[in-house]
Structures are given as structure tokens and as C-alpha cells.
Amino acid sequence: MRILYLLFAVLFFLFQAAPGSADAPFADTAACRSQGNFCRVGACPPTFTASGSCQGGLLKCCSK
């Protein structure tokens, strides 16, 4: 029964997220978010306009 605790601890450390893994992988995504905008799959909400692209052109960068 004690081995289950050890196994759980090992699995917990193996599947932990690496530091910095939440960084944007694309330059256009980083540029969009650095200006305070956000990326969206479909059309931007009614009060926002599309000001560029994200994820290499797959998403739209929405700005106020």
C-alpha cells in the first residue's frame, strides 16, 4: 500500500507543467497579447474589432 503513495508522487512530478510553458509560441500571438488584446477563434465580440492575427493566422486578434 505504501508503494501507491510513492507512485502517485512520482507521477505528480512527471506530469507537472514546465516553467514558462504558458508563453505564446507564435510572435503574432505575443504581439497581440502584449498590446492588451486577446485572440479568438471566430469573429470578435460586437464592441471589439479584429486588429491582426494570432497563432500564425489561425485566430483573430481582437482589440477595443
Mean pLDDT of the region 50-61: 92
Per the structure, the count of domains in the chain is 1
Q: What is the structure's pLDDT at 17?
A: 61
CATH number, domain of 58, equals 3.10.360.10
7 pLDDT above the threshold of 70? yes
- Binning pLDDT at 50, 70 and 90, where does residue 36 land? very high
State pTM to two decimals.
0.59
38-40, strands of its sheet edge to edge: 38-40, 59-63, 49-54
CA dist 6 and 22 (Å) reads 28
Rounded CA separation 33/53 (Å): 11
Is residue 19 a part of any domain in this protein?
A: no
* Residue 1 belongs to a domain: no
Residue 39, in any domain of the structure: yes
**Share of residues in the chain with pLDDT > 70 (%):** 86
Is position 30 within any domain? Answer: yes
Does pLDDT of 22 surpass 70?
Answer: no
Say whether 53 sits in a helix, a strand or coil. Answer: strand
The residue-averaged pLDDT of 26-46 equals 92
